[in-house]
Amino acid sequence: MATTSSLMTGKPLIESDRVEGTSVYDLAGKEIGSIKRIMIEKITGKAVYAVMSFGGFLGMGTDEHTIPWNKLTYDTDLGGFRVDITQEQLKGAPTFYREDNYAWGDRKREGELYDYWGIAPYW
């Protein structure tokens, strides 16, 4: 497994539009998708979720799944994020949608997501 560099390179902050489209790799260094968008908690300003897109061809037929932000570790050697998940796990993950009527504040639904990934919720 490649080591993740913790050394700061460049600026300490990054614009959200520069994160969108960044590749996501599994622990073996295989690209499994990219960041589609970041979900930010309004009150604290904390990044909470990364919506990943994967599959498809030329932007068509892609799937989107949400993973907790704290599952991501930026790897300066790869120039992308590394996660301890597989594409198969990603495909089986609970889905969240970008519909106007979707209740993002539904803690039960969010709890299912955290249970799936086996980590404590952000709240």
Which pair of tokens denotes residue 90? 């990603």
Q: What is the DSSP string of 58-111?
A: TTBS-EEEEEEGGG-EEETTTTEEE-S--HHHHHTS------TT--TT-HHHHH
Task: Give the Cα separation of 34 and 51 in Å (integer).
Answer: 8
At residue 99 the predicted structure's pLDDT band, cuts being 50, 70 and 90, is low
Judged against a pLDDT cut of 60, whether residue 94 lies above it is answered with yes
Where are the domains positioned within the chain? 16-96+104-117
Among the residue ranges 18-32, 36-50, 73-87, 90-104, the one predicted with the least confidence is 90-104
Question: What pLDDT is attached to residue 2?
Answer: 42
Q: Which tens digits make up the pLDDT trace of 10-34?
A: 667 778 888 999 999 999 999 999 9
User: Considering the domain 16-96+104-117 in this protein, what is its CATH number?
Assistant: 2.30.30.240
* Beta-carbon-side half-sphere exposure of residue 82 (alpha carbons within 13 Å): 17
